[in-house]
Amino acid sequence: MTHVILRLPAVRVATGLSRSTIYARVAEGSFPKPISLGSRAVGWIEAEVQHWLTERIAYTRRAAGGGPNG
């Protein structure tokens, strides 16, 4: 299995979240934790970020009454 690792700029683009919001959500356990890539580098597993996005979309749609048409 191949894993794609996203660095912070790509995670910010994919999610629309700021750096501080990403790290705050990681700290509270509501966003995937990054993995260490070295002594000063981290990245996120793309599949985990995509799963988080899918869950956020589903949650938002349920909260909004089922979708864009109500």
How confident is the model over 8-27, as a mean pLDDT? 98
Annotation: CATH topology of 5-63: Recoverin; domain 1 (1.10.238)
Query: Is the separation of the CB atoms in 45 and 35 below 8 Å?
Result: yes
Banded model confidence at residue 64, pLDDT cuts 50, 70, 90: confident
**Taking Cα atoms as reference points, which of 45, 55, 32 lies closest to residue 1?**
45
pLDDT band at 5 (very low <50, low <70, confident <90, very high): very high
| pLDDT, average across residues 12-26 | 98
Domain ranges of the chain: 5-63
List pLDDT tens digits, range 22-45: 999 999 999 999 999 999 999 999
Cβ-proximal residues to 62 (8 Å cutoff; 6+ apart), any chain = none
